[in-house]
Each structure stands twice: as C-alpha cells, then as structure tokens.
C-alpha cells in the first residue's frame, strides 16, 4: 500500500500541538487497507491484554483468543505454568480447538490425523510416523506471554521488548491490589464502530453532561489546572472526582462492595481512567477495578470484553454488585451508541477533521500515539509481521 497523500497530510494535522491540531482523518476509521496495516503492524507487534490468570485457574483450563487473524490457545499446564500456542497442528496445519474456552483437558488431540499434544505444547504422539520421526522437533508453536497484576499479556512479535520495558512509565497501581482481585462479572459487547472511536470516547468527558446524566450526577472531571498529566509511551489517562456524598460509581452512588484494603482517603475520592495502548481500558475505583479490552473485528466493528474485578472478600460474601454492574452496563451502552453515531459520521463524504475541545487533551494524546504508529506503516507500504 503506497502512502496516500491526503491521509498522510491528515495525520500531520493530528500531530500538531494541541491548540492547532485536528482530529484523525476519516480513512483511519473506515479503510480496509488501514485496518490490515493496524492488524499486522500494531496488534501483531505490541503487548495485548488477553485475559486474567484466574480465567485458567487449574491445569487443563484454556481459552482461545484471536490476535491479528491468528487463533491462539492460552492454557495452564500440569505444573501450573501458563503457556500460549498457535492453534495449529504441526502436521498439516489443522485447527486444533474450536470451543472458546474449556476445562479439564488432559491433552490436545488434532481432529484430522490424531496427533496429540501435552498441556505444555510438546508433541505427545503422532500415529504411524515411522521410526526416524523425532517428536521433540514438532511442538506447538509458542507465543510470548507475560503476567502483570493478574493479567495475561501476549505478543506475536518475538523481537518485541519485554513487557517490563514497555510498561516502564506506567503508574504504580500496586496499591489497588489488582493481582489479588477476581472477576465478579463479565459482559461482552459487539459495537458497530472502529476500535479507535471507543478509545477516544473513553478518553474524554466533554460528552458526559448531556450523554451520561447519571454519571455526571456522581462524578466530575478534575480541572486541568489541578490535574496531573499522566502520559507515557504506553498509556495516557487521568482521574475524575467523586462528588460530595458519593462513595462509588453505581446507580445509587453508594456501594455494597468492600473498599480495596489500604487505599488512602484521596484514592477513595478519585476514579482513574487509563488507556493502555493499544487495547486495554483500565479504571481503578475505590471498591473495584473496571476493565475493557477492545478487539477490532473490521474497520467498522469492535468486540469488547468488560469485567468488574472485586476483592475475594466481596465474592466470598456474595456482596451485591448489581448496582455497580447496572450503572456501567447502562453507561457502556450509552457510549457504544455514541461511537456508532460517530462511525456513521466519519464514513460520510461530509466528514472533515475537526478541532479538539480544551478538555480533550487525552484524546489528542491517544490520536498522536496512533498517528505515530500508522505513519511509518504507510511509508513502508507493508506491515507483514
């Protein structure tokens, strides 16, 4: 793909200083060619949050995730270690597993020619392959993974820097004990909008007073003059304040969930929102951590996995999280509707790059990160992993 002059010029306008910058050009939300570049040049080369360690708690537990068009198996082996492998038999390439998740596997059996694999990816048996066949030469093809606060991150690029290097500038979130939290609820959504529109919408609250009256009633943005800039090579974000008399983000503004132990008074008055590039939306609250992972399906469709992470005490005591879940499910659906309206607009011949409102600095930061990712891919004309 040769660089498109108009698209390149549009990205240059986005990369200008905030006051003079313009939003991303419409083609980045609609073009099949751009989508292919993103898939191979971003999602196949960067660290992606794929799930939680607790999703595969016991040996033989697994789940599948499609990354940049590749089906990947994430599985816990008999020794307790978590591994990731391409969902491809080493014989003639048959897909191995079909179910999105499962438990209690003793082995992986190829349905085509009955090659079987151990839970650590090594080849267990290959029927009738002859005396000279060496099983150790044909394990499943591994995928790099690293663990972070209970999350599993994967990267298809064997040459990528370690996760610790990538996350070097990420704020210290250890006080929220995210690694100790467990999933209290999961809801998945299919949104008819580009993944970047979802990240941009998450990054601003300019729309909140009119689009989220319930949210606006219980929280408010911090003034830019008092808000610290939270920006790094792998993320950007910032906090919002709970209004006086409000304890948490829920329908009532009050919480039935226990507060995360050890948080300061200030932590209990703030809700943080981080976009961890490219696909994790991470929001620590005083009593739970809300996460969204965004998975591009096409230029105009995104699959989103939303999870509420709560303390083990909350789960064991059957604390009622319905007020919290109802609040965010409602807010999510309001946001997805806005993103779908934006998708319809950016797809129009009438779309033109617009200015950023003064509180949309985090949107501009995300857009600049994206423009800096896409521009070299356009120049190179290819993004093969």
3-state SS class at 72: strand
Asked if 5-46+173-380 and 50-164 have one fold, the answer is no
- For the stretch 118-136, pLDDT in tens is 999 999 999 999 999 999 9
Is 68 in contact with 39 (CB distance < 8 Å)?
yes
**Nearest-angstrom CA–CA distance, 269 and 348:** 42
Please tell me the pTM assigned to this model.
Answer: 0.95
**Nearest-angstrom CA–CA distance, 83 and 136:** 17
Q: What is the CATH number of domain 50-164?
A: 2.102.10.10
Q: What is the pLDDT of residue 2?
A: 45
Assigned CATH topology for domain 5-46+173-380: Naphthalene 1,2-dioxygenase Alpha Subunit; Chain A, domain 1 (3.90.380)
Q: Is the pLDDT of residue 63 over 70?
A: yes
Quote the mean pLDDT of the chain: 95
3-state SS class at 141: coil
Can you give the residue ranges of every domain in the chain? Answer: 5-46+173-380, 50-164
- For the stretch 277-311, pLDDT in tens is 999 999 999 999 999 999 999 999 999 999 999 99
Q: Is the pLDDT of residue 227 over 80?
A: no
Nearest to 306 by CA among 234, 170, 198: 198
Q: What is the pLDDT of residue 223?
A: 73
- For the stretch 233-262, pLDDT in tens is 999 999 999 999 999 999 999 989 999 999
Q: What is the pLDDT of residue 226?
A: 67
């Amino acid at each position: 793909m040769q660089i498109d002059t108009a698209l390149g010029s549009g990205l240059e306008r986005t990369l200008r200083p905030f006051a003079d910058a313009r939003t991303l050009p419409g083609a980045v939300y609609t073009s099949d060619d751009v989508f292919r570049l993103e898939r191979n040049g971003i999602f196949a080369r960067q660290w992606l949050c794929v799930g939680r360690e607790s999703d595969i708690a016991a040996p033989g537990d697994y789940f599948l995730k499609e990354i940049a068009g590749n089906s990947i198996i994430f599985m816990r082996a008999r020794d307790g270690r978590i591994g990731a492998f391409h969902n491809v038999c080493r014989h003639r390439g048959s897909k191995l597993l079909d179910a999105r998740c499962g438990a209690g596997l003793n082995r992986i059996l190829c349905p085509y020619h009955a090659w079987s694999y151990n839970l650590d990816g090594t080849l267990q048996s290959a029927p009738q392959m002859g005396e000279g066949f060496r099983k150790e030469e044909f394990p499943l093809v591994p995928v790099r993974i690293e663990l972070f606060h209970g999350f599993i991150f994967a990267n298809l690029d064997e040459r990528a820097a370690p996760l610790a290097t990538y996350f070097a500038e990420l704020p210290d979130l250890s006080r929220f004990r995210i690694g100790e939290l467990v999933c209290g609820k999961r809801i998945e959504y299919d949104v008819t909008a580009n993944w970047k529109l979802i990240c941009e919408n998450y990054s601003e609250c300019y729309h909140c007073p009119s689009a989220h009256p319930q949210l606006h009633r219980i929280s408010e943005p911090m003034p830019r003059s008092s808000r610290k800039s939270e920006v790094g090579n792998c993320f950007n974000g910032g906090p919002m304040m709970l209004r006086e008399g409000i304890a948490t983000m829920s329908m009532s503004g009050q919480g039935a969930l226990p507060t995360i132990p050890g948080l300061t008074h200030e932590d209990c008055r703030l809700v943080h929102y981080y976009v961890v590039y490219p696909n994790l939306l991470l929001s620590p609250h005083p009593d739970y951590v809300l996460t969204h992972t965004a998975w591009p399906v096409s230029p105009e469709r995104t699959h989103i996995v939303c999870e509420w992470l709560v303390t083990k005490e909350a789960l064991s005591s059957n604390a009622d999280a319905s007020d919290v879940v109802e609040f965010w499910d409602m807010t999510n659906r309001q946001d997805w509707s806005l993103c779908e309206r934006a998708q319809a607009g950016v797809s129009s011949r009438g779309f033109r790059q617009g200015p950023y409102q003064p509180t949309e600095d985090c949107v501009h930061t995300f857009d600049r990160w994206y423009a800096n990712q896409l521009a070299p891919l356009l120049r190179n004309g290819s993004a093969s992993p």
